[in-house]
């Protein structure tokens, strides 16, 4: 058995936080602890975990996970679970690289050979979606996601929802499947109206129609619409997920592998979901390491359906030149053909991280700050 020698983290543009773990034999693995808008909080948590876990056995991934989760007394939540995610992913990558196998081979092997993907269009305030969708078709995508609305008040004019239906209609007319992200922006009076208005146009799914803390509202909404309901990015463990499965209120779970405890935990969430006939479509508007980890899960998970990719997402474009094709040595791994990406065949996560670029960018990388909306009366609206 070989012990963990070092754990490092790197803040990189546009808004990502990478983790590298090395063992005493100089094997290494990469993970991602990105928690958008809360980088410094996760860095502080990583500092604490690094002190605890240097010297742990690198192969005992589950034991480390349990120690991080249970021995701190206060458990769960986005900061701790994102920090733990990065270390967990890196340890799985390290083990698979040391054994010279793709990571999914340690999780039961492949159940598919390619992975369906979708990309974003439209931005925070969705605009020009027809041209953006046409550009995605040229890139090889046949499915996209866009924000369903701009900012909406608790009770707003029904006219505020009219453009949502029109955007869906326009993009579907191009032959694409379309997921609509409510983003938790709508409150129950408006979410019920919008779900009903969208239903005749058959969105691929509606995401976070209400914030996840409103479990009773989501249960009510699920009985009012035939639109598949997706959520999960703001659920951080199997315990957070449990109620939604028991309520039978969700059709597609979207845990984020960088927020929910990493590969170890998302595997358990996926198995729970399968037992309730719920699909898995991991949330991942993040970096290439998180995406590669999601792809490894997709390869070995029977109830996986589609993977989010942040290629060209508005957050990356707004921040400058860096995207998921950066920080890795072979950009071709993200090539999209007929709506699919080929299963990653390389050892570990299936990508080779360009460590020199990571270290160079990390020297001066600034944090990405949370966004928000304000209503015309000066009150805060959900973003």
Residues designated as active site: 183, 283
Buried b (16+ CB within 10 A) or exposed e, 226-248: ebbbbbbbbbbbbebbebbbeee
Contacts with 79 (C-beta within 8 Å, 6 or more apart), sequence order:
35, 38, 41, 42, 45
Number of H helices, E strands in the chain: 12, 14
Among 93, 118, 170, 88, residue whose Cα is nearest residue 307: 118
**Inter-residue contact 245 to 272 (CB < 8 Å):** yes
Q: How many CB atoms lie within 10 A of CB 166?
A: 11
Question: Measured on CA atoms in the order 258, 117, 204, 267, is the torsion positive or negative?
Answer: negative
| 80: its two tokens | 């701790």
Q: Measuring CA to CA, how many Å separate 113 from each of 109, 292, 296, 299?
A: 11, 14, 11, 7
Rounded to an integer, what distance in angstroms lies between the CA atom of residue 138 and that of residue 130? 13
Kindly give the pairing relationship between strand 307-308 and strand 28-32.
Answer: unpaired
Contacts with 9 (C-beta within 8 Å, 6 or more apart), sequence order:
17, 18, 19, 20, 33, 43, 46, 86
Question: Measured on CA atoms in the order 281, 282, 287, 290, is the torsion positive or negative?
Answer: negative
**Inter-residue contact 280 to 252 (CB < 8 Å):** yes
Contacts with 236 (C-beta within 8 Å, 6 or more apart), sequence order:
76, 77, 78, 81, 259, 260, 261
Among 16, 94, 50, residue whose Cα is nearest residue 263: 94
**Inter-residue contact 35 to 51 (CB < 8 Å):** no
């Amino acid at each position: 058995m070989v012990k963990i020698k070092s754990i490092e983290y790197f803040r990189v543009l546009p808004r990502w936080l990478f983790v590298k773990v090395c063992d005493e034999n100089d094997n290494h693995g990469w993970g991602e602890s990105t928690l958008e808008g809360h980088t410094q909080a996760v860095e502080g948590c990583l500092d604490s975990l690094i002190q605890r876990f240097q010297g742990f056995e690198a192969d005992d991934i589950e034991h480390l996970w349990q120690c991080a989760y249970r021995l701190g007394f206060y458990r769960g939540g986005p900061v701790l679970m994102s920090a733990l995610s990065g270390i967990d992913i890196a340890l799985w990558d390290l083990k698979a690289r040391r054994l010279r196998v793709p990571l999914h081979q340690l999780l039961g092997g492949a159940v598919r050979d390619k992975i369906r993907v979708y990309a974003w269009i439209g931005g925070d305030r969705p605009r020009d979606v027809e041209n953006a969708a046409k550009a995605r078709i040229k890139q090889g995508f046949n499915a996209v996601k866009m924000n369903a609305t701009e900012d909406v008040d608790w009770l707003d004019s029904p006219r505020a929802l009219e453009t949502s239906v029109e955007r869906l209609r326009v993009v579907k007319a191009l032959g694409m499947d379309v997921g609509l992200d409510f983003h938790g922006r709508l409150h129950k009076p408006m979410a019920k109206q919008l779900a009903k208005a969208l239903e005749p146009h058959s969105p691929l799914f509606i995401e976070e129609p209400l914030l996840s803390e409103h479990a009773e509202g989501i249960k009510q909404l699920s009985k009012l619409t035939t639109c598949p309901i997706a959520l999960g990015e703001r659920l951080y463990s199997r315990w957070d997920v449990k109620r939604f499965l028991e309520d039978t209120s969700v059709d597609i779970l979207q845990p984020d592998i960088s927020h929910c405890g990493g590969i170890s935990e998302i595997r358990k969430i996926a198995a729970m979901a399968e037992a309730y006939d719920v699909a898995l479509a991991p949330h991942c508007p993040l970096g290439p390491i998180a995406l590669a980890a999601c792809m490894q899960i997709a390869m070995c998970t029977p109830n996986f359906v589609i993977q989010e990719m942040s290629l060209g997402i508005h957050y990356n474009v707004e921040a400058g030149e860096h995207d998921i094709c950066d920080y890795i040595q072979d950009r071709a791994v993200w090539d999209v053909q007929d709506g699919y990406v080929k299963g990653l065949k390389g050892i570990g996560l299936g990508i080779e991280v360009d460590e020199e670029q990571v270290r160079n960018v990390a020297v001066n990388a600034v944090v990405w700050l949370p966004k928000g909306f304000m209503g015309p009366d000066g009150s805060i609206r959900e973003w």
